[in-house]
Amino acid sequence: MTKAATYGTINKDIAKDLKEKGAVWKIEYIRHEYPFNPSSKQRIMYRAIPSWFFDIQGQKPLMLEQNEHINWFPAHLKHGRFAKNIEQAPDWNLSRDRFWATAMPVWKGDRGTVKVVGSYAELKELSGVELDDYHRPWVDDITFEIDGETFTRIDKVLDCWFESGSMPFAQLHYPFENQDKFEQNYPADFIVEYIGQVRAWFYYVHAVNAALAEIGAFGRPVSSTKTPTAMSSPPVWWRATTAKR
Same domain, 216 and 179: yes
Span 179-237, pLDDT tens digits? 999 888 888 878 888 888 999 999 999 999 988 876 666 655 555 443 322 222 232 22
Mean pLDDT, the chain, whole residue set:
84
Would you tell me how many other CB atoms lie within 10 Å of the CB of residue 30?
Answer: 4
d(CA 143, CA 108): 10
Q: When comparing pLDDT for 28 and 85, which is higher?
A: 85
Same domain, 139 and 151: yes
- pLDDT at position 195: 87
Same domain, 175 and 230: yes
Domain of 106, in residue numbers:
98-158
Q: Are 80 and 223 in contact (CB under 8 A)?
A: no
Span 132-181, pLDDT tens digits? 999 999 999 999 999 999 999 999 999 999 999 999 889 999 999 999 99
pLDDT over 80 (residue 62): yes
* 158, 177, 192 - which closes a domain: 158
Same domain, 219 and 175: yes
d(CA 93, CA 131): 28
Same domain, 172 and 145: no
* 126, 141, 158 - which closes a domain: 158
Q: Considering the entire predicted model, what is its pTM?
A: 0.74
